[in-house]
Structure 1
Amino acid sequence: MWKTIIFLTAFTIWGCASVQKELNRGNYSNAVNLALSKLKGKKKSEKDIIGLRDAYQYYIAEQLRKVEQLKLQSNKDSQILSIYEAADNINSSIKPLLPLQDQNGFVTDIPLIDVKAEVAKYKSRVADQLYFNAIGNLEKGGKMEARKAYDQFQQMINLTGATSHLQSLRDEAKKKGTTYILALGEIDSKISVSKAVKERFMSLSSSTLSKNWQRVDITADKRTPYDYELIFVLEDFVLSPEKESSREYIDKKEIEESAGTSSRDNEKIKRKIEVSAQVVELYQFKEAQVKGKVILYDVVKKKNIYSEPVTAAQVFENYASTFKGDKRALSDVSLKRIGGKPIAFPSNDKILGDAVATLKKNMEQQALKAYSNL
């Protein structure tokens, strides 16, 4: 008998080295999963069967020890449930494979420890505690407490399934935990812009500005008690005049070229020469600079709690170049610009509108930071 046990132990260590390595390290869950992966195929070996049997025995013993230790402590039901659920999942993976038999007829069974009753028991206990805590947080009335309540109701739904009662409580927590913000656009009375530019600036997006716990409306809803007003202000802009300038310059470069072939040894002869090209360049430039600020106004306290300046610019640049002479003399910069043509300058409305659109994006990013913790 002892010889048989010694043989089987040696066989396990020799033939199931990877599983044994995980067991030696105390990684019993990894050992079980590794052993299971070896037994998923059609061909099952005796060493893999023994590997799973040993790994499961170590694993389940460790998990039950952990549970007994946690039972001695308070508020550990959630951790105990996680352990039982993991053990139940392991059982579900092993059960379809039983009884285990290799291709040579070796058969063994693994006595699984049924934990389904414990899973149900602790799932009920955890759900009861979540419900008690969630109701307590909801009754406190604060936004942060309501958000905790929402998470707890959602955990309950994930744990026990959705009911109309739980969904109603979760929705109530969502409503109480949400910060309501009304977004407004303003243009300083000192400046005048076209209708098209005004529309580009004033067209705000609720979906872009809203976050999980911050709902931003762009149209006031009389039924909504707003906590804050988010104000985008276009304060000023500067349009540069259309600038067009031309210049001429010469690119020079020393290059090697063939000068024939040596009659003595038939080798190619090279000589250095200087080549040049005259470049005529036309440069076009126009710019719009805009500035504004983002304001967050506390409706209850009736004061600004945030104000930050924001700027943006839109630049139009164009190069049109031609050359005379040897193309090989052109610099990399000149080569990139050769072939361009003069084009029409953008209208004031177009360049200003593009600058305003960029400004608004910058403002949106600034705003998201301003109320991220509200």
Structure 2
Amino acid sequence: MKKLSCRQLCCIVALLAYTLLLSCKSGEKLYNKGRYSEAVLTFVKKLQRKPQDATATRLLPDAYHQALQSGEDRVNEWLRSNNQLKWESVRNEYRALQNLYNSIHGSPAALKLVQPKDYRDAITGAQENAAEIRYDRGTTLLNRGDKVSARQAYEEFGAALKLIPNYRDTKQRMDEAFQLGVVNVVVSQIEVRSPYYQFSADQFRDYLVRNLQQRNINRFVQFYDERIARSENLRPDEYIELRFFDFVVGQTFVDRIQRDVSKEIVTGTTKDTSGNTINLYQTVKATLYITKKTVVSKGLLDYRITDTNNGQVLRTDRIPGNYTWVNQFGTFRGDERALSDEDRKLMGGQDVPPPPPSDLFMEFTRPIYDVLARDLQSFYNSL
């Protein structure tokens, strides 16, 4: 092991001394600013490193006394308030005071100077009171019997369990609140005018329902396919009706274009009378025969969300979608040198058939699906 030089040892000692001095000044500064709890923790750390530190020994007892007084004053202020949830704030204050107790007990030097107060029983009592308040609030809300109150009750029971796990029958009441608060949303089957597209429409709906379920938009909203809901005798709270309106699949347009092109090209060089080299040009020509086949598929989707309890329409909209398939190919007559780079790309190719109608249906409904999924997520996320 390499030995440290005298100069290096002196630097290390000086650095440690500076660190201890800074720590002491930091604790004293916190004390002077009235930040007594922070000062207590700083002094305790200092005494763990240097049990005889004069500043920490002198100021720790009063810093702890002041921190204790401030904490208990805040507790009393909360106890005098009309805030129903005050016991949670009381518990937090007691926890902060208990943190000082634990810190001092971890330092023999600090424990010789201060006999800290143990707040464990006070914390337990405050937690029990806080849990009872949450439980009572949840019970009151649940007894109202409506979905909005049930969802609020669910949150209250959850807060009670965070305070005291397994508190009374809170878990059971929480489950009751969830079952009452949940909204069962059934997505309708989609009827289309042509049986040929029914399978594609079913795929659209199946993918939509599956995606909505997987997104977990809102814990209180559950989505069902209408077929599943019927088989399980599920009564929906809301019904999403989907209907494709005025759609066209595979509308075909064929354009045939004849275009003459020409280009001046260099065919060689010659010398002028002065001996200079000059280019020889020739104009070359060709005729292009281009076929452009365009297949258009488009349509509208109407959707409506209805409250099944009162028949109220909660939301309605119409979403457009379209998809265009294009195929171009061509031939030419004449001199190939007359063709531009773009012209060459069109040459060759063949008259390939468009995708089958079922695929075209899925393509034009793809943008409709994206908009519909966003709309439904926004609507049910704010429930």
Shift of 1:225: 3.4
Inter-partner Cα distance in structure 1 for 2:347 and 2:27 = 69
2:76 equivalent in structure 1: 68
**TM-score normalised according to structure 2 size:** 0.66
Corresponding residue of 2:317: 308
Distance in 2 between residues matched to 1:294 and 1:174, nearest whole Å: 28
CA–CA distance in 1 between the matches of 2:348 and 2:120?
A: 76
The answer to whether the 8 Å contact 2:135/2:160 transfers is: yes
Counterpart AA for 2:377: L
Q: What amino acid maps onto 1:211 in structure 2? A: N
Further displaced range: 364-373 or 18-27: 18-27
Unmatched segments (≥5 aa) in structure 1: 1-10, 102-106, 252-277
Kindly indicate whether the alpha-carbon contact (under 8 Å) linking 2:46 and 2:56 is maintained by their aligned counterparts in 1.
no
Q: Give the match for residue 87 of structure 1.
A: 97
Select the residue among 183, 188, 208 that pairs with 1:184: 188
Letter in 1 for 2:359: K
Could you say which structure has the larger radius of gyration? 2
- Distance between the aligned counterparts of 1:244 and 1:350, measured in 2? 23
TM-fit CA distance, 1:295: 0.6
| Cα 1:224/1:346, change in 2 over 3 Å | closer
Residue 172 of structure 1: CA displacement?
A: 0.3
1:366 corresponds in structure 2 to 375
The alpha carbon displacement at 1:48 in A equals: 11
**Cα distance in 2, alignment partners of residues 315 and 369 from structure 1:** 29
**Structure-1 separation of matches of 2:204 and 2:170:** 42
Shift of 1:70: 2.0
Q: Displacement, 1:220?
A: 1.0
Aligned to 1:353: 362
CA RMSD of aligned residues (A): 4.7
User: Once the two structures are superposed, what CA deviation does each residue of 1:160-190 show, in whole Å capped at 9, x if it has no partner?
Assistant: 112582211110011111122211132343x
Identify the range of structure 1 (240-249 vs 289-298) with the bigger mean alpha-carbon deviation: 240-249
Does structure 1 residue 199 correspond to structure 2 residue 202? yes
The structure with the greater share of residues assigned to helix is: 2
Tell whether the 8 Å contact from 1:39 to 1:49 is kept in structure 2 after alignment.
no
Call closer, same or farther: CA 1:366–1:249 in 2, change over 3 Å.
farther
d(CA) in 2 for partners of 1:143 and 1:216? Answer: 17
Q: What's the offset of the Cα at 1:357?
A: 3.4
Aligned AA (2:204): F
Give runs of aligned pairs for residues 119-198 of structure 1, distance below 5 A: 119-162=123-166, 165-189=169-193, 193-198=196-201
Correspondence for 1:50: 56
* 3-state SS, counterpart of residue 355 of structure 2: coil
Residues 98 and 109, structure 1, Cα contact 8 Å, conserved in 2: no
In the alignment, is residue 241 of structure 1 matched against residue 252 of structure 2? yes
Tell me, in whole angstroms, the C-alpha distance in 2 between the residues paired with 1:208 and 1:167: 25
**For 1:163 and 1:364, how far apart are their aligned partners in 2?**
40
Work out the CA distance in 2 between the residues paired with 1:34 and 1:285. Answer: 78
Kindly state the Cα deviation for residue 109 of structure 1 after the two structures are TM-superposed: 4.9
Contact 2:306–2:314 under 8 Å retained in 1 = yes
**Residue 238 (structure 1) shift:** 3.1
Fraction of identical pairs, as percent: 16
Q: Contact 1:294 / 1:366 at 8 angstroms: preserved in 2?
A: no
3-state SS in 2 of match to 1:241: strand
- Aligned residue number for residue 88 of structure 2: 78
Number of residues of Structure 1 aligned to a counterpart in Structure 2: 323
Structure 1 equivalent of residue 14 of structure 2: none
d(CA) in 2 for partners of 1:305 and 1:29? 54
- Hey, what's the Cα distance between the residues in 2 that align with 1:22 and 1:320? 82
> In the aligned structure 1, how far is the partner of 2:32 from the partner of 2:63?
10
Q: 1:113 to 1:318 in 2, by over 3 A?
A: farther
Tell me the TM-score normalised to structure 1 length.
0.67
Residues 218-256 of structure 1, C-alpha deviations (whole Å, 9 max, x = no match): 1215554322111222223234426677889899xxxxx
Alpha-carbon deviation of 1:139? Answer: 0.9
Change in 2 beyond 3 A, CA 1:211/1:72: closer
